[in-house]
Amino acid sequence: MSHHDANAWIAKRTQSFDSSGIRKMFALAATMKNPINLSIGLPDFDVPAPIREAACDAIQSGKNAYSMTQGITPLIDRLKSEIHAQYKHDDRSVFVSSGTSGGLVLAMLAMVDPGDEVIVFDPYFVMYVPLIQLVGGVPVLVDTYPDFRIDLDRVRSAITPRTKLVLFNSPSNPTGVAASLEEMRGIAELCDKHGIALISDEIYSRFHFDGPVRSPAEFNPQTIVIDGFSKSHAMTGWRIGYVHGPDAIIQSMVKLQQYSFVCAPTPLQHAALAAMDFDMTHHYMDYARKRDRIVSGLEGYYEFVKPGGAFYVFPKAPSGTATEFVSRCIEKELLVIPGKIFSKHDTHFRISFAASDAMLDRGIEVLRSLA
């Protein structure tokens, strides 16, 4: 039998990016006895019991077949009425995606042709750049250091005739920074003026600590909004997201979903409907408190922007590169993520405060000693 080199069969598109550094952290955490794990971007509470029961009921009562590609009708109707109440846009459709990530994948497939440029704010969610590259797009990074605010002049100078869309995320992973209303209006109007699509990734919209949640869709009715239940209801493994925007874009994404994901998990769509009636406010208040706990624990020790949402803080490493600093943390059993996973800079590191107060306090102690 001849043995061919299987590597020769691997598509070039897979070579433009590495497997996520966050996965490496998961592997490392598994080998440690009692790590202080502040690396994971998922809520530290479980799906509330009534929602878990709704999922079990859906399975037991036989709601286990494919749903329509765009999602089960009651969930679509419910989302539609909430979205319409919020925006009153004439042309705004919605579909249920297989998680927010599924929504992002379909958005890239539906909108980005090879050679199209996509503007991304640096630092960015780890998936953005690989997904753009996967469809042959060209990521164009707009720097937001040191304060992680959006500078419209920098955006303007990044626009070329090849710019297809802007990928916007607030509250942000990895910084936890929430864009101001002026920034949202600015980016929304700039995209509108130049005929550039705007995608707003709002998966952390419920984790918004200082005032009401706002969206660039308020200022630009053609904004494509990606959201979901993963973070808001701690159902990261359930893969239920949704996307809303101009009907033509949504229909195109639904068509692609038909030939890829098929549909989001049916019984869990029924549970998501129950989740919409469950009040999660006390969990979000809890996270606002955790935010204050980590901020007061690190103030005076580290340079960082106070997070307005999500469950991350993105401090500057006290000296050297962030990668070096993170390996010093790991020696002390503290798991945090080096910023270069999210950025072309290796100066900052991401802490997730989605952890118990006891775990946060242990982490703060180690971080103070390393400062």
- Check whether 88 has a pLDDT greater than 90: no
- 295 vs 241: CA distance, rounded Å: 30
What pLDDT score does 20 carry? 63
Return the bridge partners of 122, or none: 143
What pLDDT score does 23 carry? 73
What pLDDT score does 195 carry? 97
* Residue pLDDT, tens place only, 59-78: 999 999 999 999 999 999 99
pTM of the model: 0.94
- Check whether 261 has a pLDDT greater than 80: yes
Q: What is the mean pLDDT of residues 163-178?
A: 97
What pLDDT score does 21 carry? 67
- Check whether 25 has a pLDDT greater than 90: no
What pLDDT score does 249 carry? 98
Cα–Cα distance list, 223 to 23, 24, 112 (Å) = 31, 34, 15
CATH fold of the domain at 16-47+280-370: Aspartate Aminotransferase, domain 1 (3.90.1150)
* Residue pLDDT, tens place only, 331-365: 899 999 999 999 999 999 999 999 999 999 999 99
- 339 vs 143: CA distance, rounded Å: 13
Which of 15 and 364 is assigned the larger pLDDT?
Answer: 364
Cα–Cα distance list, 80 to 241, 248, 278 (Å) = 14, 16, 18
Check if 16-47+280-370 and 49-275 are the same fold. no
Binning pLDDT at 50, 70 and 90, where does residue 18 land?
confident
- Check whether 215 has a pLDDT greater than 90: yes
- 82 vs 130: CA distance, rounded Å: 32
- Check whether 84 has a pLDDT greater than 80: yes
Q: What is the mean pLDDT of residues 222-229?
A: 97
CATH class of 49-275: alpha beta
- 157 vs 41: CA distance, rounded Å: 32
Q: Average per-residue pLDDT in the chain?
A: 94
- Check whether 37 has a pLDDT greater than 80: yes
CA-based nearest residue to 43, from 291, 279, 298, 310: 310
φ and ψ of 172, to 5 deg: -95, 140
Cα–Cα distance list, 30 to 26, 27, 33, 45, 124 (Å) = 6, 5, 8, 20, 26
List strands edge to edge, sheet with 197-201: 93-97, 241-245, 224-228, 197-201, 163-169, 117-122, 138-143
Q: Where are the domains of the chain?
A: 16-47+280-370, 49-275
Return the bridge partners of 208, or none: 309
Q: What is the mean pLDDT of residues 16-21?
A: 71
What pLDDT score does 211 carry? 83
